[in-house]
Amino acid sequence: VPVDFVARAIDHIGHQPDLDGQTFHVVDPHPLSLGDTLNEFARAAHAPEFTLRFDRRATSMVPDQVTQIVSNIPAVKQLKAQVLEGIRIPQTALDYMGNRANFTAEQAQAALAGSGIACPRLHTYAWKVWDYWQRHLDPELPTERNLRRALEGKVVVITGASSGIGKAVAHALARSGAHLMLVSRTEEKLNEIRDGIAAEGGTAFVYPTDLSDVDACEAMIKRVVADHGHVDILINNAGRSIRRSVEESYERFHDFTRTMQLNYFGAVKLIIGVLPGMRERGRGQIINVSSIGAQAFPPRFAAYVASKAALEGFSRCLAPEVAHDGVVITNIHMPLVRTPMIAPTTFYDAFPIIEADEAAEMVVEAILKRPQELSTRLGKLGEVVDVAAPGFLHLVMTGAYHLFPDTAGKSKDPNAQKEVSVEGLALAQLMRGIHF
């Protein structure tokens, strides 16, 4: 009930004569069920409402002893904890839902009779509560306060931090209170970013590493743990992208091996390096910066998409193994981002591309929400089409292959140098962000 109603009711009752020694429950005399309460807030938030209701009387047929035995099974307890964490409901709220106490309002209502003080119906003020919560209290809002709450004192490893998405993420987390571990091959650039973060009031440390060397990956993680005790969040952002058809790669098998070495084997080595500590502490997150290409399978990206799909497959298989230890693995399906990785390819100049800062916002969202997967609407559409109408997706991508030329200078085909056609530009706008 609203606090102003409670305050006015207590004030009024406290000033009435001959009521000493009595008990007054200042509650809603016409309380709503849990389902109706949730639906009031769903309407205020313009969200879908619950239509299926669960009758608690159905559980009364089950003996309490059986319920307690089942509830105390470790696997059941862990599953329950994971479900509650996923829907952001604390255990204490669940315990309250099972409280069978009944607080009647008859005496309070009698004492308030004629005062004009009454408990307002929830629908008259639910929107105010929702609006205030949404603007000020939502723990998933990408605010500096929420980031600090989530990351204060945490050790965060960011690979590929010398440029592009990694650099943008480092600056996005600069004032979060986290200890940022900046990892890439170029020490000079890392030092510049570290100094910039320090100027913003943050803390960063430099760990130059060739992430395509699995032994170097292992050594780097060991140094980080030795220096800082553990790793709370690993952001696998470093990657190599190659836009080249398989036909143009007949004599370039190293395109596939070197892409897999960095994008898959290096990332897996880092994951294996941080997992034991995360599981021991019962908390941790691994964020893999994947690609929308792993949802839509664009042509000319066989090497790149295969490496990202491999990491995603590994992570999805691993996630259930570590969920009970409080470790979350998040795969982010990034759209095409303007980074130094694509800078040499002028072909992309004609395409809609998001900036690195926008990509960093997706990483921040992943940290605050800890989802299993994060992607764009277009990426989700690609997944749905692939399942519902795989032939149609194949047709679209076949058309894309013929509409968009090979990268200039990488093909013997004289048509490779031509500009993107009007039809190609139209398709690019319809499928914003997919790597062609």
Residues acting as catalytic residues: 304
d(CA 173, CA 311): 25
d(CA 298, CA 282): 38
Residue 401 and residue 302 in contact, taking contact as beta carbons nearer than 8 Å:
no
3-class DSSP state for residue 273? helix
* 305 alpha carbon, distance to own chain's centre: 21
Question: Between the CA of residue 61 and those of 53, 66, 94, 139, 177, what are the distances in Å?
Answer: 18, 11, 20, 39, 51
Residue 142 and residue 368 in contact, taking contact as beta carbons nearer than 8 Å:
yes
Token pair, residue 5, equals 């109603």
Token pair, residue 70, equals 């089942």
The end-to-end CA distance of the chain, in Å, is 55
d(CA 216, CA 253): 24
3-class DSSP state for residue 284? strand
* 189 alpha carbon, distance to own chain's centre: 28
Question: Between the CA of residue 124 and those of 62, 120, 309, what are the distances in Å?
Answer: 39, 7, 49
* 428 alpha carbon, distance to own chain's centre: 27
Element (H, E) at 287: strand 284-291
396: CB partners within 8 A, 6+ apart? 431
402: CB partners within 8 A, 6+ apart? none
Question: Between the CA of residue 308 and those of 43, 163, 189, 291, what are the distances in Å?
Answer: 40, 20, 26, 7
Bridge partners (DSSP) of residue 208 are 184
Helices (H), 291-389: 293-296, 302-322, 356-369, 377-388
Q: Which of 54, 25, 143, 139 is nearest to 88 (CA)?
A: 139
Question: Between the CA of residue 180 and those of 55, 75, 158, 248, what are the distances in Å?
Answer: 49, 35, 7, 40
Token pair, residue 279, equals 């599981």
